[in-house]
Structures are given as structure tokens and as C-alpha cells.
Amino acid sequence: MEGVVVRGEGIRCRARTAAAYYRSYSTPALPAARRLLSSSNGVEEAAALPTSRQLCGKPRSPFAPLDLDLSLSLSLRVSTCAPSPRRRCSQVPGDVVLDLSEMTNQTIKLGTGLRQVTRLIGCTWDLQECDTIQATSAGMLRLSKPNKYWVESSQKRYIPSVEDTVLGIVVDTKPDNFVVDIKGPNLAFLPVLAFEGGTRRNIPKYEIGTLIYARVVKANSIMNPELSCMDVTGKAAEFGQLKGGYVFDSSTGMSRMLLSSPTCPVLEALGKKLSFEIAVGLNGRVWVNAPAADTVILVSNAIMRSESLSGIKQRAMVENLLERLS
């Protein structure tokens, strides 16, 4: 299974049943209007979904579409032969992933967890350049054809990258920005006007502690990341404040698993019996909402427990929990 996509679309969907959930991931880009969801109670309408974004979670590899972020993706000119690293193997910081001296005229893109090391070795009359790609974090090396490499690992903290959807908590309000905590190395700024139809007159009043579902617009290591509550076309698209419900922390790997397509087994199994609403932030936060409190508790416990379980075990665990409830 190569090129496993790390990020899903992160759309907050009101999953009433498994069928509805599948629909959110299997239909290609829908025309403007509303997506219909069926539930055990009948047909319900969901909020309007953006057209420009593909709903089918054709998951994306963690590279910015434009190579703006030079610190994250480097394009290198390398030698001819095809690289032969192992497709999926686990790396430890300092491991040499690729030896570039054997590869010429190839462009390689590096994602998170890798860096290029150039060293001059040998004596003064026989200096050779030793060019290698080394891992900087422990995890699995992933390759997405033709030339993208990254190291995938799961942490409690989040490193912001562009076009990620995250759940942030407001910690401060300034005249121009809301200061939002997204569990990263820096606090993020959410401009006051980055809302659909936002003008100086209708600035939302978010207090400290408000939970916000937003999209990362700018992220580099030097500046504070910038968020937006609009999608690329300027529509609201489910972004904004999330009211009620319960929020808990997970690891980044867990968030990616919850957002992967096909649907994560835990969510599928829960969606068959219960009706709830869930929003997953790639920064390791999950929000769950349901009409009854015990549904919320059950769903969040199931998700928290499913981190280290395989698909079959996840389903079995959910069955167990549901039996105990009924």
C-alpha cells in the first residue's frame, strides 16, 4: 500500500448512518446544492457543501500544492539511476534514506521528517561530495510515486501545514485577529474578516475558549500560522464555531486514521447504530456532538480506545460497547 495518503479532506459531516458516511466519501464533487443524508429516521438535509473541493477523500500527500514552503519541500536535482529505498520501512533519526550520489537528473520532493545533508569527505586531493537524505524523526518512510518521500509518525503536537483543517481554541482577541491555539509550536492567527461575508460591521464575537473549525492558510516555521474560516472560494463550508458537544485530544496519527478513506472502521461501526456529529482536526483534536449525553460519551470512548487496534478489533470493541449500552 504505497503512497498512503496522510490527510483526508477533513470535512465535518453529520454522519447519521454508515450509508450516509460512505456517501460523503464516495461521491465525486457534487453540484452546488445540498447533500441528502438518509438516517434511520428519514431523509435529512445536510448543510451545503462546497463544490470546488472534492468530497471523495482522494487523500492528499502532505505537500503544499505550490512549492511555496521551501522549508518543507525541497526539489533537488539528483543523479540518473532510479532510487531504491525500501517502500515502507521504519526510520530512526539519522538514518540515510537515499544516497543521492548514485542518482542523477531526478527531482525529488521531500516532505516532513527528512532533510538533505551535504558533506565533503575525503582528503584534500580527493574531495568527494557525499549527498544523502536523512531522516530527522522516527517513523515509517513513505513514498508517493513518482518522487515524493516523507516520514510518517504520530505525535501529540501538531506541525502546521497549508490546507489542513484544524480545530482551534481561541485564547485571545485582538483588533485584527483572533489568537487561536492549534497545538503547534506557535499560536495561530485567525483574521477577523476571514469569514464568509465578513466586514468590519459583522465581526463574530468569539470569547476566550471558543472552539473553531478552520483551515490553515499560511504555515511556515518562522511566522505564526494563519487560519481562515472560509474555503478557497470564499464560502463558509462548515467552518466556524462549533457549539455544544465534547472535544478531546488525540494524536495526529489517530486524526489521520479517522479521516482516511475508506471510512475508518470505528466510525463506520458507530454510524450504523448511533447518530452523532463529528469533526476531526488534523492537529489532534476531535469534537463529538449528539442529542443524548450517553451517545457522546460512548462515541468518544470508542474513538479514544481505537488508536492501537486493527480494523477487526475496532469493530469488535464497538460491538462490545454497544451491547453494554442496550
Partner 1 sequence: MEDTRRADGRSPNQLRPFSCTGNPLHRAHGSARWAQGDTVVLAAVYGPKPGTRKGENPEKASIEVVWKPKTGQIGRQEKEYEMILKRTLQSICMLTVHPNTTTSVVLQVVGDDGSLLPCAINASCAALTFAGIPLKHLTVAIGCGVMENGTVILDTNTAEEQQLKSFAHLVFPNSRKSVDSKEPKEKDEEFERGLITSVTHGVMSEDDYFNCIERGLAASSRISDFMRKTLQKEASSVDA
Binding residues for partner 1 (CB under 8 A):
71, 84-86, 89-90, 92-99, 102, 113, 115, 119, 121, 134, 136-140, 152-157, 159, 185-187, 221-222, 251, 253, 257, 307-310
- The DSSP output letter for 60 is B
At 228, phi and psi to the nearest 5? -150, 145
- Shorter beta-carbon distance to partner 1: residue 13 or 259: 259
Quickly tell me which residue has 463529528 as its cell. Answer: 278
CA distance 86 to 279: 35
To partner 1, the closest distance from the beta carbon of 163 in angstroms equals 20
At 262, phi and psi to the nearest 5? -65, 170
To partner 1, the closest distance from the beta carbon of 310 in angstroms equals 6
At 258, phi and psi to the nearest 5? -65, -30
- Shorter beta-carbon distance to partner 1: residue 203 or 309: 309
- Shorter beta-carbon distance to partner 1: residue 6 or 230: 6
To partner 1, the closest distance from the beta carbon of 256 in angstroms equals 10
- Shorter beta-carbon distance to partner 1: residue 204 or 253: 253
Closest to 273 in 3D by CA, of 40, 45, 43, 46: 40
Closest to 72 in 3D by CA, of 164, 195, 140: 164
To partner 1, the closest distance from the beta carbon of 279 in angstroms equals 22
To partner 1, the closest distance from the beta carbon of 185 in angstroms equals 4
To partner 1, the closest distance from the beta carbon of 304 in angstroms equals 11
- Shorter beta-carbon distance to partner 1: residue 3 or 85: 85
To partner 1, the closest distance from the beta carbon of 183 in angstroms equals 9
CA distance 143 to 89: 10
Distance of CA 301 to the CA centre of its chain: 21
Dihedral sign of CA atoms 306, 310, 313, 318 in order: positive
- Shorter beta-carbon distance to partner 1: residue 106 or 137: 137
Amino acid identity at 14: R
- Shorter beta-carbon distance to partner 1: residue 4 or 236: 4
Closest to 227 in 3D by CA, of 170, 288, 152: 170
To partner 1, the closest distance from the beta carbon of 319 in angstroms equals 19
Task: Say how many Å lie between the first and final Cα of the chain, rounded.
Answer: 38
The C-alpha cell that represents 154 in the structure block: 504520530
What is the CB neighbour count within 10 angstroms for residue 172?
12
The C-alpha cell that represents 178 in the structure block: 483572533
Alpha-helical segments (H) within the chain: 18-26, 252-258, 265-273, 293-305, 311-325
- Shorter beta-carbon distance to partner 1: residue 181 or 196: 181
- Shorter beta-carbon distance to partner 1: residue 164 or 231: 164
To partner 1, the closest distance from the beta carbon of 130 in angstroms equals 8
Closest to 176 in 3D by CA, of 219, 235, 224, 211: 224
